[in-house]
């Protein structure tokens, strides 16, 4: 995750699985989209503090799946299948429907169309 000196990367004790979960959420297309709705030129701690983050119990499959995909992406950053599945899983956590996720993906013109398409296909496969 890319951060600047303005934001705390980690404050306090947080388990590794929770770190991986939050890393996935904060690096998702959905969170990026929500931040861009609130930001001018600079992402501040107050913007991040107001960012809605899905609350998922650590014993639920959705949490474990995202943690597993996040860990996989840490070890294999070029794994496009895992990246697409991770984006789709996070979109489902935010309770987006297909049309809403398609809109979010459409706001990323610099992300290659095949990557956005893979995320949308993974979203449909997980419905």
Give domain status of residue 102, yes or no.
yes
pLDDT at 80 over 90: yes
Q: What is the pLDDT of residues 20-45, one digit of tens each?
A: 999 999 899 999 899 888 776 677 77
> What's the pLDDT at 87?
97
Is residue 55 one of the residues assigned to a domain? yes
For 25-64, give one letter per residue: b (16+ CB within 10 A) or e. bbbbbbbebbeeeeeeeebeeebbeeeeebebeeeeeebe
The per-residue pLDDT for 2 is 46
Mean pLDDT rounded to a whole number for the chain: 87
Residue 18 has a pLDDT of 92
Name the domain count of the chain.
1
Domain containing residue 74? 16-125
């Amino acid at each position: 995750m890319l951060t600047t000196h303005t934001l705390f990367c980690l404050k306090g004790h947080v388990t590794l699985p929770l770190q991986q979960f939050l890393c996935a959420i904060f690096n998702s297309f959905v969170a990026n989209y929500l931040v861009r709705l609130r930001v001018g030129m600079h992402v501040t701690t107050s913007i991040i503090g107001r960012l809605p983050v899905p609350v998922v119990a650590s014993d639920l499959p959705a949490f474990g799946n995202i943690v597993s995909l996040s860990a996989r992406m840490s070890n294999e950053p070029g794994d496009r299948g895992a990246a697409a599945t991770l984006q789709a899983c996070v979109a489902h956590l935010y309770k987006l429907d297909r049309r809403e996720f398609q809109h979010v993906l459409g706001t990323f013109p610099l992300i290659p169309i095949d990557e956005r398409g893979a995320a949308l296909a993974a979203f449909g496969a997980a419905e």
